[in-house]
Amino acid sequence: MSREQRIRVDEILRQPAPEGPRSVEEIRAGFRQLMAQMIVPHHSIRTAPTTLGDRPALRVEPAQAPGRGPDGGPGTGTILYFHGGGWVFGSPETALSLTGNLVARTGLGAYSPDYRLAPEHPFPAAIEDTLSAYRALLDRGEDPSAIVFAGDSAGGGLAVTTCLAARDADLPLPAAVLAFSPGTDATRTGESMDTKEGIDPIFTRTALEHTGAMYLAGADPHQPLLSPAVHADLTGLPPMLIQVGANEVLLDDSTRLAARARAAGVDVILDVTADVPHVFQSFAGVLDEADEALDRAALFLRQRIHAAATART
């Protein structure tokens, strides 16, 4: 772990903020520019556009022979990956450093749906699209015990809320949920919203409320599908791994989600890394902590897929 690496990442993220709120177009362009700097393991994966549940999606597969993991072992299974971006910006392409690294490290194939974004399509459009993507996998015959949900930031929140929506629709649940710095409290009541202000190099309360209002579009933020960390019944959800950085204003979105999951009897791991920012895993190849966290995440996914396969036999 390198203090110099963490300082460098903080400098990259701590860019001078423009005065006043930015337009949606400016926010989206700035995020694309930031994520274009991330290292994607192109030599270890192959990608192709596809559709899933009537929405465009990106298919990401290991570069080696299908069905084999990077260590030569079984790689059978599917990651359904939900990209981040505050439900307002981002795409499967901007998340490719994360999806690609999970695919490369697990040997599993992935689909990343291009769900609809606010403000053009506010809540609950994103959840409708991610649930539709999951239904599409089930309808084509994929075993739910060989599917895992994963996502970062807003997409991490969607990994949780899509699971809730699937449970409430009486669908079989996936084998696991992996959430990187998930957004799970639209009420913004976590103490870290204030205690990490200024420490977080990316977010402020004002910025989060600006984009959050676009997604809410007047909806009550106290709904379980908007604030699962404080208002959802998580009973019956599959094992969860939540990874978060200690420097995040959204830190308590993760800590309270984990506590609520534990209270509901869910097998949950809360993995907090010191002195790193929101979705620090994006900096794989630059930040040692990012690569180490992705290794832990990949191990978790492989173990859950293996446990489900063992149970089936």
pLDDT in tens, 7-44: 989 988 987 766 677 899 999 999 999 999 999 999 99
CA distances for 35 relative to 13, 32, 57, 92, angstroms: 11, 5, 18, 11
pTM equals: 0.95
What value does the mean pLDDT take over residues 177-198? 98
**SS3 of 109, please?**
strand
Using CB atoms within 10 Å of the CB of residue 212, give its burial: 0 to 12 exposed, 13 to 18 middle, 19+ buried: buried
Q: How confident is the model at residue 231 (pLDDT cuts 50, 70, 90)?
A: very high
Mean pLDDT score, 288-300: 98
On whether the CB atoms of residues 277 and 248 are closer than 8 A, the answer is yes
List % helix, strand, coil for the chain (3-state, nearest 5): 40, 15, 40
The answer to whether residue 242 scores a pLDDT higher than 80 is: yes
pLDDT of residue 310: 79
Please identify which of the residues 83, 145, 231, 278 carries the catalytic annotation: 278
Q: Choosing from 153, 227, 254, 282, which is the catalytic residue? A: 153
Active site residue 197: no
Q: Does 43 qualify as catalytic in the annotation?
A: no
Element (H, E) at 127: helix 125-139
Which tens digits make up the pLDDT trace of 134-147?
999 999 999 999 99
CA distance 252 to 309: 34
To the query of whether residue 121 is one of the catalytic residues in this protein, the response is no
Euclidean distance between CA atoms 239 and 261, whole angstroms: 9
* Nearest by Cα to 279 from 239, 247, 313: 247
Annotated catalytic residue: which of 248, 254, 282, 289?
248
Let me know: does 48 contact 59? Beta carbons within 8 Å.
Answer: yes
User: At residue 94, does pLDDT exceed 80?
Assistant: yes
